[in-house]
Structure 1
Amino acid sequence: MKLAGWMGAIACGWALPVAQAAEPAHAQWGWLNLTPTLDTELNYTDNLFRTQNSSKSTWGTVITPRLQAWLQNDLSTYSLTYEVQDFRYQSSSDDNATDQRLSLDVHQVFNQSNTLNLYAKYFDAHEMRGTGLTEGDAAELIDKPVEFDYEMFGGEYTVGHATSTGMLQLEAKVESLEYTNFREATQYRDREADTLRSTFFYRTGPRTQLLAEWRRAEQDYQGKFIESDGSVTNLDNVESLYLLGLAWEASAKTSGEIKVGTFDRQYKSGTAQDTDGIHWQVAARWQPRTYSNLGFTTRRLARETNGVGEYIDTGEATLWWTHAWSSQYQTKINFLKAKDDYKGSSRNDNRTHFSASIDYNMRRWLEFGTGYRYEKRSSNTSTFGYTRNVFFIDLNLSL
C-alpha cells in the first residue's frame, strides 16, 4: 500500500468494522506484558496481477506472526508491536515476499484534561504486482514486486476531555516513503509528507459536539518527472483543508461523525495546476443488538497519484455488517463503491470491492474462518480494468 493509502487508512480507521475474534491472553515478563499471535491464511486467486486478461491464477499463503510488548501505568499505556507478514504463491514464486512492520504507541494521561499520544511506524514492505506503481499492464513488465520503506512518526495533544464543554486536539506528523528497487522509475515517486491538524470540539448537548478542523499537508517529492515531450512535472504541493462537522452518540446503539468543508491544493511550480474542491468524511454506526453492528462510511478526498495525472479525486462509500450468531459463530460483510478521477489526465475509474466471511471461535485462543473477496475496476483506459476473485481459509492462534 502506498503512502496515500496508509494516510487514508489512518484517517478513517476508527469507523471500519472490528472483528470480534478470540481474545488473546498475554504472558508477563517482569513489569512487561507480552502478547504473541499468529494469523495464517490459505487462499486461491484467479487474477494475481489484477490485469484485464486475468493471465495468472494461483494458490497462496499469508503467514503473520506478531508480538506486542506493552505495559500500563494507571490510565497510561505504552506499546511496541513487531509483525512479520510472509507471502508465498504456488504458481508465481517470483512474487514471494516478506514484509516487516514495527509500531510504537504511547498514550500518556497527565490528568483528566491533558493527554498526549505519541506514535511511530516503520514498514519494510512491498506493493503486490498490479497495485500502486504497477497497475494495469505494468504488472507484467517487471519480474517481481516493487519494494519500499515507509516511516511515520507524530503526536497528538488533547486539552479537555469527552464531557467538557470544549476540547482541543493538536496533531503533527511526518511521513517518508522511499522505494528500494527499480530505481530508474521509482525514484521519482519517493516523497515526504508533513501534516498539521487542529480540531476543536464544542459540546452542545449530553451526546453531541460541534467541531471545526483545519489540516495542512505538504508533499515533497524527491524527484521531478520527465514527460515524453521532455517537459518537467513537479508535483510538490501544499494542501489545506477547512472542515466543520458534528459528532454524536445518540444512544449506546448509535454514534457517528460528519465533517464537510473545502480543500485547496497549491503546487509549488507552474507545471501542475492548482485546484480546490469539496471534501467530506461521514461515518455512522448502529448497534441494534450487542451482537450486531451495522456501519456506513463515505468520504471525498484528494490523493497523491500513483503514476497517472497530477492527483486522484476520490469519492467512496462503504457499508459493513458484523453479526455474532452465537458465542462461537460470527459473519462479516463489507461492500465498497468508489470513483477515481485522475486530474490532469483523461483516466476515470470505478471500483467495487466486496468481502464476506464466517468465523468460528473454536477456543478462546483459536479461531477458524473462511470467506470470499471480490474486486472489480472499470476504467475508460482499458488496460486498467480487471476483475478478481479470492477464496480463503484462515486460522488465528494466540495464547
Structure 2
Amino acid sequence: MKRSHTPSALVLAAALGTIAGTANAVDPMPVNQDGPVDFIPTLKVSQGYDDNVSETKDGESSNVTKVAPTFLLRAQERANRYQFRYTPTFERYSHDSDNNRVNHFATATSRLILDARNRVNLGLSARRNQQTIGESETETSTLDEGDINERLTLDGTYTFGARGAKGQIELDGGYLWNRYANNKPDTNSEEYDSPRAGATFLWRVAPRTQLLIEGRYADFDYVNGDPGNRDSKNLSALVGARWQATAKTSGSVRVGREDKDFDAAGKDDTDANRWEAQVNWRPAAHSRVRLNTGNSIKEASSDDENAIEQTTYGLSWDYDWDGQVSSNVAYRFRDKDYVGPNTDRNDELHTVSVGVSYSFRRWLDFGFETRFKDNDSNDDPQDYDQNTYFLTATLSL
C-alpha cells in the first residue's frame, strides 16, 4: 500500500528551505602544496535513515551509513589544466547486509588552450554502480545481489574561434560503453555501445549573446539479445542561444526535434520535440538560483518498450547566511512516457531536497540533508515514495 505522508513531507521540505540548505564546502589544502601536481583528499561520512531502500511500492526501511572518500589530483601548465578525481562510496544497511555495496566513480579531464583560436576539452569517466536487491528484482526473479552497471564514457570538444570572435564552431564526439557485471541473462539485453558526434555553429549578435545552430548524432548498438531488434540511431537538430546578460544572469536555451530510427524493419520509429534550457541568476553575492528544463528520447528499460520520452524541470536555491552557515533547497520533476505497442506506462517523479551546513573549521563541515521522493505511476507496482534523512561530516586536510 502506498504511503500517504508524502504531501506533508513536501510541505515540510518547503518550510525548511526558508532556513536551511546544502553545505558550505570545506577549503581543503593539498598534501604537497609545492609539488607540480596537487593531491587533495577529502572524506564525507553520512549517518541516517531511509524509509524505502529499494524505491519500490512496499520497500523496507533501514538505517544507512555512507563513507565516501574523494581523491583529487590536479595540475596546471600555463593555461592548460588537468584533473583526475576518484570517489568510492561505501554503503551499509542495518536491515539487510545483502544490500551492502561499494560504488565507484572516477573522472579524468583536461582543458587545452592550443592558441587564441583553438581549444580542446577532453574527458573520460568510469562508473560502477550497484542497485539494491529490491530495485533489481522482478516478478519472476529472486536475486542474491543487485544489478551492477558498469559505464565508460569518453567525450571531447574542439572549439575553433577566438573568444570574442563573431563566429565560432564547436565539434564534439564521444563513446559510451554500457555493460552489466552480474545477473545475466536478465541484464544482457541492456548492454550496448554508443558512439556519438555533434557540431555547433555560434554567431555573436551582441557582446554577451550568441545564437546557435546544432546537430547531434548517436548510434546505439546492442551487443546481446535479438540481433538488430533494439539497435537504433538518434538524430537531433536544434537552434538556440547562449548569453551572459549581466554578471548576475547567464543561461542557454536549445529547441528542436529528435528522431530515433530503428534498424529493425518491424520496429516503429519514434520522434519527439527536444529542448534544453538553463538559467542562472545571482541576485546577490550570497544567493544563487538555477532553473533548468529538458526533453529528450532515452533508451528503453525493457523489451516491452521502444523508447522513453523524458521531460525534466528543476529549480534550486543556494544561500550563504554568513561565513559559516549555508543552505540549499531544490525541487525536481521528471515525467517519463514509455513509448511502444506493448506499454502505456507513465511515471511522474517529484523530488524535494533540503540541506544545511555549518562550517565548524576550515577543514571540517557538519550538515543535515533530507530528500523526499514521490513516484506516481499508472503501472501500480512502480508507485512508491521515499524519504531519507542524513547527518553528515566532511573532512579535509
Q: Give, in angstroms, the shift of residue 82 of structure 1.
A: 2.1
Partner of 1:160: 161
Partner of 2:52: 47
Q: Give, in angstroms, the shift of residue 139 of structure 1.
A: 11
Q: Is the 8 A contact 1:51 1:139 kept in 2?
A: no
Q: Give, in angstroms, the shift of residue 386 of structure 1.
A: 0.1
**Cα separation, partners in 2 of 1:383 and 1:88, compared to 1, 3 Å:** same
In 1, the alpha carbon distance for the partners of 2:335 and 2:348 equals 5
In 2, the alpha carbon distance for the partners of 1:368 and 1:19 equals 8
Residues 276-313 of structure 1: CA deviation (Å, up to 9, x unaligned): 22100111111100100111111111111222511111
Q: Give, in angstroms, the shift of residue 18 of structure 1.
A: 9.2
Residues 227-266 of structure 1: CA deviation (Å, up to 9, x unaligned): xxxxx88111100100000111111111111100001110
Q: Secondary structure at the match of 2:186?
A: helix
In 2, the alpha carbon distance for the partners of 1:168 and 1:19 equals 38
Q: Give, in angstroms, the shift of residue 224 of structure 1.
A: 2.2
Partner of 1:228: none
Amino acid at match of 1:363: R
User: Of 293, 299, 306, which aligns to 1:304?
Assistant: 299
Partner of 1:349: 347
**Which structure 2 segments of 5+ residues have no match?**
1-20
**Cα separation, partners in 2 of 1:281 and 1:139, compared to 1, 3 Å:** farther
Query: How many pairs align?
Result: 373
Amino acid at match of 2:92: R
1:118 aligns with 2:122: yes
Amino acid at match of 1:318: G
In 2, the alpha carbon distance for the partners of 1:245 and 1:19 equals 34
CA RMSD of aligned residues (A): 1.9
1:374 aligns with 2:375: no
Partner of 1:358: 356
Q: Is the 8 A contact 1:115 1:159 kept in 2?
A: yes
**Cα separation, partners in 2 of 1:213 and 1:129, compared to 1, 3 Å:** farther
Q: Is the 8 A contact 2:188 2:225 kept in 1?
A: no
Q: Write out aligned runs for 1:45-84 (5 A).
A: 45-54=50-59, 56-84=60-88
Partner of 1:35: 40
User: Of 322, 325, 350, which aligns to 2:321?
Assistant: 325
Amino acid at match of 2:252: E
Residues 43-73 of structure 1: CA deviation (Å, up to 9, x unaligned): 201111111123x100011111111112100
Q: Write out aligned runs for 1:383-394 (5 A).
A: 383-394=381-392
User: Of 248, 251, 269, which aligns to 1:274?
Assistant: 269
**Cα separation, partners in 2 of 1:161 and 1:59, compared to 1, 3 Å:** farther
Partner of 1:235: 230
Q: Is the 8 A contact 1:285 1:293 kept in 2?
A: yes
Q: Write out aligned runs for 1:171-186 (5 A).
A: 171-186=172-187
Partner of 2:8: none
Q: Give, in angstroms, the shift of residue 125 of structure 1.
A: 2.6
**Cα separation, partners in 2 of 1:278 and 1:41, compared to 1, 3 Å:** same
Amino acid at match of 1:49: S
In 1, the alpha carbon distance for the partners of 2:354 and 2:141 equals 29
Q: Secondary structure at the match of 1:21?
A: coil
In 2, the alpha carbon distance for the partners of 1:188 and 1:372 equals 35
**Cα separation, partners in 2 of 1:141 and 1:385, compared to 1, 3 Å:** farther
Partner of 1:252: 247
Higher mean Cα deviation, 380-389 or 111-120? 111-120
In 2, the alpha carbon distance for the partners of 1:377 and 1:314 equals 14
**Which structure 1 segments of 5+ residues have no match?**
1-16, 226-231
Residues 189-216 of structure 1: CA deviation (Å, up to 9, x unaligned): 1111111011111110011110111100
Give the percent of matched residue pairs that are identical in Structure 1 and Structure 2.
27
In 2, the alpha carbon distance for the partners of 1:39 and 1:352 equals 26
Partner of 1:4: none
Q: Is the 8 A contact 2:22 2:326 kept in 1?
A: no
Amino acid at match of 2:354: A
Amino acid at match of 2:293: T
**Cα separation, partners in 2 of 1:233 and 1:130, compared to 1, 3 Å:** farther
Partner of 2:13: none
In 2, the alpha carbon distance for the partners of 1:152 and 1:289 equals 37
Amino acid at match of 1:213: E
Q: Secondary structure at the match of 1:184?
A: coil
Q: Which has the higher contact order (CA 8 A, sep 6+)?
A: 2
Q: Give, in angstroms, the shift of residue 144 of structure 1.
A: 1.8
Q: Give, in angstroms, the shift of residue 143 of structure 1.
A: 3.0
Amino acid at match of 1:43: G
In 1, the alpha carbon distance for the partners of 2:286 and 2:258 equals 39
In 2, the alpha carbon distance for the partners of 1:19 and 1:348 equals 34
Q: TM-score, normalised by structure 1?
A: 0.89
Q: Give, in angstroms, the shift of residue 20 of structure 1.
A: 4.5
**Cα separation, partners in 2 of 1:284 and 1:171, compared to 1, 3 Å:** same
Q: Write out aligned runs for 1:202-213 (5 A).
A: 202-213=203-214
Amino acid at match of 1:383: P
**Cα separation, partners in 2 of 1:139 and 1:86, compared to 1, 3 Å:** farther
